[in-house]
Amino acid sequence: MVSAKHASNAITGALEREDFSENALSDYQKDWKRELGMELWIDGIVHRFFGGISDRKFNSIYDDLSTESSIDLINKTGDIDFPSRVVFSLFLRKPSIPAKLLFMR
């Protein structure tokens, strides 16, 4: 949705200026990167980290995430464009998760 918003803005601006050059449309790239760039970087770190954990650790964290309180928190803070918000919220409200990531074998 964020990318679509920026694409729409770039196209609207190009139509208003009647300028469809690469330079005129480059605002799209700059704008979505400004809004989502850091999020994508964080998401990459989280993905690589979780991709390297053991099955035992993963199953234990999954059990923590399967509770009603965790599911409620995910539903309240989850955002498909900004997944780090739910990760950070879970880490703050469920300290067992980062503890397991750091100390469990």
Q: Answer whether residue 9 shows pLDDT above 90.
A: yes
Q: Phi-psi region for residue 26, left (φ > 0), alpha (ψ -120 to 50) or beta?
A: alpha
Cβ atoms of 29 and 11 closer than 8 Å: no
User: d(Cα 103, Cα 105) in Å, to the nearest integer?
Assistant: 7
Mean pLDDT across 45-61: 88
The separation between the first and the last C-alpha atoms of the chain, rounded to the nearest angstrom, is 39
Give Dmax over CA atoms of the chain in angstroms: 60
> What integer is the mean pLDDT of 44-59?
88
**pLDDT tens, residue by residue, 72-97:** 999 999 888 888 899 889 989 999 88
Domain edges within the chain: 1-52, 54-105
Does residue 13 contact residue 26 with C-beta atoms inside 8 Å?
no
pLDDT for the residue numbered 5:
93
pLDDT of 31: 93
